[in-house]
Amino acid sequence: MKNGYIVRGFRPRVPGVIVRINLMYYHPEVAKAKGYHTKNFGLKPGESLHESYEPIDDSRLLVRRQPSVSFAVADTKSRLVGWVWFYRYRVHPLPKMIQRKLGVNEQNSLIYQVSYEKLLSTGWPESLLSALVYTPVAELAKERKGVIVSGLEMSIERLARRYRRRYVRRTNLVLYAYVLPENIASQKVLIANGFSSVDRMYKYEKVLHQVWVRIV
């Protein structure tokens, strides 16, 4: 436990877990940072968020198996408040130029892209407040500090232990993230967890991003 948070496996059968994941994704700030939009959510009277949107249907978020590993970040009551996801994304791998500079590759290293989200406490549109199924508005109003900084730190520790047990021949565990230059909050999370930015930007989904890297 760090700063009142723990990391554990996902529990998809617990009521509301998938809904809470969706809420993390569809928050306007998250949508903007990730480069997609919610178009005012399009909610009809009496319609809930999970009825209006296709739920995230990605077993990689829920099952610990290669080529990805995921962890839930939970509060002291084991309620999901964030998640950390390590995955091998072939569409946007760690750029070859960076691999050469660091002396790492797929043969001598296990290379994961990292992503993370938290359940934000502010900035919810009024149109969504009645749609937050399983998530009381009072709970959303709580200010949660250090969720992802602590969650990412604990997740990296657990991933590193697993890596050392399973991958004897590979000498490096390399983590990287693509971050928009204006996403200062995400940059602070990475800095707090020992990541460094490279000296040029690379395109991710046709938009220039910073690349942050850490060798564990």
Per-residue H/E/C for 63-82:
CCECCEEEEEEECCCCCEEE
Q: Where are the alpha helices (DSSP H) in 53-125?
A: 59-62, 96-102
pLDDT tens digits, residue range 106-131? 888 889 999 888 877 666 666 555 55
Q: Which domains does the chain have, with CATH numbers?
A: 6-215 (3.40.630.30)
pLDDT band per the 50, 70, 90 thresholds, residue 212:
very high
- Per-residue pLDDT, 81: 84
Task: Please state the pTM of the whole predicted model.
Answer: 0.77
Interatomic CA distance for residues 75 and 77, integer angstroms: 5
- Per-residue pLDDT, 58: 40
Q: Does residue 61 contact residue 10 with C-beta atoms inside 8 Å?
A: yes
Distance of CA 72 to the CA centre of its chain: 10
Coil, helix or strand for 147? helix
pLDDT at 98 over 90: yes
Distance of CA 74 to the CA centre of its chain: 14
pLDDT at 46 over 80: no
Mean pLDDT on 147-151: 94
